[in-house]
Amino acid sequence: MPHTATIDRNKVRALMQAEQQRFAEQHPRSLELYRRAQHSLLAGVPMHWMTRWPGGFPIFVAEARGATFRDVDGHEYIDLCLGDTGAMTGHAPAAALPAITEQLHKGITTMLPSENAFWVAEELQRRFGLKYWQFALSATDANRFALRLARAITARPRVLVFHGCYHGTVDEAYAWLVEGKPASRPGNIGPQVDPTLTTKVVEWNDPEALEEALRPGDVAAVLAEPVMTNVGIVQPAPGFHQALRELTRRYGTLLILDETHTLSAGPGGYTRAHGLEPDMLTVGKPLGSGIPSAAYGFTEEVGRRAQAVIQPPYADTGGIGGTLAANALSLAAMRATLEHVLTEAAYQHMIALGRQLEAEVQEVMTRYRLPWHVTRVGCRVEYLFRPNPAQNGSEALAGQDPDLDPFIHLFMLNRGILLTPFHNMTLISPETTAAQVRRHTEVFEEAVRALIG
């Protein structure tokens, strides 16, 4: 048996210190802005989780185009984070800008429908196979609205999510398993109710636990990503999707698939790529090339039942809404994105590069005998510092590496490559090139050599 490489933890920490120093030296302007921001922005950032970038302070961006961006210190980066999928289209995609710019001059929001609404709904129908569509401005809202409708039409109080999930800042989805029992997710800020009152939680890939939770008949909907992508990538085991669909049907529970990240699997997401049959589907982030946009769709049957519960005079005070939702700019951006950017041809390019990235990273792992693995959903690739793919949220969380995860991010960043924060996720846009993927692999190998050399 070939031995596997071992990583000296003290060495990782020493390397990390050196990278932090290098980062501070290379980013004087970002540091200056970050210091200034302490006087007006809470924690010195416009969004609190931006404090979590591994260099000690975030880099400030001057300009982002296609698959790259430049920071205020003049460094150029290959962007494999792509706004954590919000810019999976590439930044400011040239193919969508004319329609978006034109709409800016023709009015942004009126609270009346525009003709683009039909085009987008019909295209989503064609891509995902669901009949009726509604729009929102974030995937979080799409999920919230889908859950509300599911509870309203089933007249059931609870929902079910999988341990380790993330579906945006949706209160009901902030339930996890803690020591094997449903509880508020660690770090849940000021929950309005204890999420265990609203939500059941089971492990992904566990049909027995799922059936037990659905059996009492009080679960309105299961909300799930078709592949877990927010705790590292956790693939569905063979047969799990079939079990999920059969069990939800058997117990009268609606199945909501959140395709916000798995849209990386193809033009119709993982749902179309794998012939899944959700009752509802939610999607957001890159749908409008970064202009706030999201959509949620229903089967004909669910749409009919939903229509019955959205009755005047409560239509805009019933808990589903948003004055700016379905605004003309958002719809123009969605149309331009679907028509010109996230096309079949674009996906062929993106998925081919996803395969290249996966194969190159795997080759480095094999050559250096690293006890790690790499996994992929279309044009989304993730490497994890554990030997075998996790089967569920608990295994994925246990496999997170508090030393290596931040180290690899900072090492890459210092050499011009941005990974998605919190785990080691890379995403390919239509404008990413094979040379950029290759460059990522070179830097990845350089990091490996530093670790084990």
| Beta carbon nearer to ligand PMP, 139 or 364 | 139
Closest to ligand PMP by CB, 230 vs 337, is 230
Please say whether the beta carbons of 419 and 405 come within 8 A: no
Q: Which helix (H) or strand (E) segment is 258 a member of?
A: strand 254-258
Q: Which is nearer to ligand PMP, 19 or 382 (CB)?
A: 382
227: which 2 tokens? Answer: 């592949």
CB of 93 to ligand PMP, least distance (A): 18
The minimum distance between CB 18 and ligand PMP, in angstroms, equals 31
Contact 166, 201 (CB under 8 A): no
Return the number of the residue (69 or 296) whose C-beta is nearest ligand PMP. 296
Radius of gyration of the chain (CA): 22
Residue number closest to ligand PMP, CB atom: 168
Q: Which two tokens stand for residue 161?
A: 């999510």
Q: How far is the CB of 258 from ligand PMP (least distance, A)?
A: 5
| Sign of the torsion angle spanned by Cα atoms 202, 204, 208, 211 | positive
- Minimum distance from residue 239 beta carbon to ligand PMP (Å): 23
Q: Which is nearer to ligand PMP, 257 or 332 (CB)?
A: 257
Contacts of 167 (CB under 8 A, 6+ apart): 139, 140, 143, 161, 173, 223, 225, 258, 260
When the beta carbons of 230 and 289 are compared against ligand PMP, the nearer one is 230
How far apart (Å, rounded) are the C-alpha atoms in residues 248 and 5?
44
Contact 195, 184 (CB under 8 A): yes
Q: Whose CA is closest to 59, among 327, 444, 448, 413? A: 413
Q: Least CB distance from residue 17 to ligand PMP, whole Å? A: 30
Given a contact cutoff of 8 angstroms between Cβ atoms, the answer to whether 356 and 126 are in contact is: no
Compute the least distance from the CB of residue 453 to ligand PMP, in Å: 35
Smallest gap from Cβ 127 to ligand PMP, in A, equals 17
Residue/partner pairs of 434-441 with CB below 8 Å, 24 or more apart: 434/353, 434/356, 436/67, 436/68, 436/78, 437/353, 437/356, 437/357, 437/360, 438/356, 438/360, 439/78, 440/78, 440/80, 440/357, 440/412, 441/357, 441/360, 441/361, 441/364
**For ligand PMP, the closer CB: 324 or 352:** 324
Residue 47 CB, nearest approach to ligand PMP (Å)? 10
Query: Where does this chain bind ligand PMP (CB under 6 A)?
Result: 84, 138-140, 143, 166-168, 225, 230, 258, 260-261, 284-285
Strand partners, 202: 162
**Nearer of residues 116 and 140 to ligand PMP, judged by Cβ:** 140
Q: What does the block give as tokens for 51?
A: 């404090």
Single-letter amino acid code for the residue at 10: N
Nearer to ligand PMP, 84 or 446 (CB): 84
CB of 299 to ligand PMP, least distance (A): 20
Tokens of 252: 């009268």
